[in-house]
Structure 1
Amino acid sequence: MDNRDVTPAPAQLRELRWPAELADVGTADRVILASAAVGLNAHGAQVIRQAENQIWRLPAESTVVRLAPRDRLESATREVRVARWLAHNSIRAVVPAEVDQPVELADWVATFWEEVPSHEHGTVADVARALKELHALTPPSFELGALDPFVRIPERLAAAALPSEDRRWLLDLHADLADQWAAGLPPGLTHRAVHGDAWPGNIVRIDGNEWVLMDFERFSHGPPEWDLASTAVRTRTTGAVTESEYAEFCNQYGHDVTEWAGYDLLARARELRMTTYAAQHAASNPQWQVQAQHRVDCLRGRCGPRPWNWPGIL
């Protein structure tokens, strides 16, 4: 397989700039407008997930619509190109719909994807196998952008439902970790295309058999250790993965990132991301407030040593 770019250039992508008065329409209306722009039927559209991005299903088209804030146009464009590049290199991944995309609407950007059949979260071993295949690829000819472990953390903290003193502490932690990242990592694996958010919810199983790679918003170029650290953190920090599962993960991939000198920095960056994600969404969903504060307390040494019990934010 080669790595040539088989995706239309950005100039060919569909752009629709809706009048300012449409900026206040509801999410469902945006789904209808964006779908109509590319000739898709949004009748009976169903919401799948509402968080930083809005995910909707078009049952009449077996298509999924992903709405993201418009400042993520570059990321949305890259996601589509990455998915097509992965398919060209025989990596099982979610497939972009054959429409002119992404579509811009006032303050949102929409992308369209073929609906994945009935599926479930993959296994920890699936994550290892998927990452091994992905990291073996020569990076694509188009620009992926450099990995940024701290993307949107300041914005999350600005919106977080936290005591001001805790917010200041997290901002200081962010500054410290960012300085360490800027100073450079210890020698490690060769930088490659990385998924950026590799966990079993983004490497799913279809019919209990083959895995499929999903969600390329954080796809970039950087150290493969960033992808590997996700499972290590879910073992050593949150307790979501057992030690035996982690041993199998390392066996499948052929590398244990926790033995690398740079692991502590990546682990702390991931812990910060998980904490600020919970804190941001607790501002609009009070049922997450206890978990958000618990994560802050853990980072601040108020809850004993790792692993901590961090249930997922749904």
Structure 2
Amino acid sequence: MTAESAFADVRFDLVRKAASAAGLPSGGAVPIRLAENDLWRIPKGVVVRIARAGQSAAAAREVAVTRWLATQGVPAVRPLDLEQPVHVAGRAATFWEELPPHRSGTSADLAPLLRRLHDLPPPSTVQLDLMDPFVRVAERITAARSVGEDDREFLLARLDELRHAWAGLPDGQPLCVIHGDAWGGNCAVTEDGQRYLLDFERVSQGRREWDLTSTAVAVDTFGTLSDEEYERFCAAYGYDVRSWDGYPVMRDVRELRLVSFALQTADQHAGALEQAQHRLACVRGLRGPRPWHWRAVP
């Protein structure tokens, strides 16, 4: 047995044990995505989400948030009506109704859903923390094995610089409930055109500009979204975050997070190393002006 197949067996065993603890069948479980959080499809139209270790509170909050969204009529994935999360081997498992056949949303699909979310009053049934844009960034940089000490020192100094800049952001739109990871992959569109929000792990109270910057960097940093597509996004939402004076700081914070994530991924998947090094060179000023044409990492 290879190390890879043994690892897959461990992951399947987690799904089996989690489903059993919830009173659900697991025969024929199929992986949907195996990443920081593992997603599996099991019988009876159920999706199991197994969070990384130490994320039990976040998993419970995600279930509570989606239940609250159901009371507000916001189209989103729905958790099963059972006591959750379930805990197995130090990890939290949650259980969700499987959506009908669907595709990932576009920025224009995402915009009206974000607007609905941002316009909601704060929930009285869920305690939401203030959004921390720097969560896990220092840890990822410090732990990265794919960078030399000079690059590590640069990134940590850049992190300190951006923490200071964030504290001095100008006034913007009122604080609200934000998604925290607002991109097209977290919006699903079914064959009948219904749109749904997905993945509420990072929901918090914060600046709506943070959610909107995710789409803006698809234009400015990744170069994967055209100006015309971005204009449709802004029209559907009703605001262009790039017109706000604080946008460059928020963009730079997003970019540093994306660099740290790529470095973390490169330590686990050799295929991500080239992209991680490219992102690092860009923020160090070695690849010219934006857009830098970043690609997704595995």
Report TM bin, short chain: over 0.9
| CA distances 1:120-156 after superposition (whole Å, capped 9, x unpaired) | 1112111111111111110101211110111111222
1:152 — aligned with what? 136
**What is the CA-CA distance between 1:180 and the residue it aligns to?**
2.3
| 1:169 maps to 2:171 | no
1:22 — aligned with what? none
**What is the CA-CA distance between 1:70 and the residue it aligns to?**
3.3
CA RMSD, Structure 1 to Structure 2 (Å): 1.3
Instruction: Name which of structure 1's ranges 60-69 and 78-87 shifts more when overlaid on structure 2.
Output: 60-69
1:13 — aligned with what? none
| CA distances 1:143-182 after superposition (whole Å, capped 9, x unpaired) | 111101111112222332222321221111112212222x
2:36 — aligned with what? 52
Q: How does 1:204-219 map to 2 (within 5 A)?
A: 204-207=188-191, 209-219=193-203
Normalising to structure 1: TM-score of the pair? 0.89
List runs of 5+ in structure 1 lacking aligned partners. Answer: 1-24
1:93 — aligned with what? 76
**What is the CA-CA distance between 1:184 and the residue it aligns to?**
4.0
2:258 — aligned with what? 274
Distance in 1 (CA, whole Å) between partners of 2:238 and 2:227 is 16
* Local SS of the residue matching 2:103: strand
Distance in 2 (CA, whole Å) between partners of 1:159 and 1:61 is 41
Select which of 243, 252, 259 maps to 1:259.
Answer: 243
Distance in 2 (CA, whole Å) between partners of 1:162 and 1:53 is 25
* Local SS of the residue matching 2:129: coil
Structure 1 outlier segments of 4+, above 4 Å = none
Contact 1:120 1:208 in 2 (8 A): no
List runs of 5+ in structure 2 lacking aligned partners. Answer: 1-8
Amino acid at match of 1:119: H
* Local SS of the residue matching 1:26: helix
| 1:43 maps to 2:21 | no
Select which of 105, 121, 142 maps to 1:138.
Answer: 121
Distance in 2 (CA, whole Å) between partners of 1:301 and 1:88 is 47
Select which of 109, 113, 124 maps to 1:126.
Answer: 109
| 1:115 maps to 2:98 | yes
1:12 — aligned with what? none
2:57 — aligned with what? 74
| CA distances 1:79-133 after superposition (whole Å, capped 9, x unpaired) | 0011111111010000101221001223211111111121111121111111111
Amino acid at match of 2:93: A
Distance in 2 (CA, whole Å) between partners of 1:77 and 1:207 is 30
Select which of 180, 201, 204 maps to 1:220.
Answer: 204
| 1:303 maps to 2:287 | yes
**What is the CA-CA distance between 1:208 and the residue it aligns to?**
5.5
Distance in 2 (CA, whole Å) between partners of 1:212 and 1:147 is 23
Amino acid at match of 2:234: C
Amino acid at match of 2:237: Y
1:26/1:170 CA distance change after superposition, 3 Å: same
Distance in 1 (CA, whole Å) between partners of 2:295 and 2:100 is 26
Normalising to structure 2: TM-score of the pair? 0.93
* Local SS of the residue matching 2:185: coil
Distance in 2 (CA, whole Å) between partners of 1:96 and 1:227 is 23
Amino acid at match of 1:139: P
Identity %: 46
Select which of 221, 228, 252 maps to 1:244.
Answer: 228
**What is the CA-CA distance between 1:267 and the residue it aligns to?**
0.5
1:202/1:87 CA distance change after superposition, 3 Å: same
Distance in 2 (CA, whole Å) between partners of 1:57 and 1:168 is 42
Distance in 1 (CA, whole Å) between partners of 2:49 and 2:138 is 24
Number of residue pairs matched?
A: 288
Amino acid at match of 2:133: P
Contact 2:140 2:260 in 1 (8 A): yes
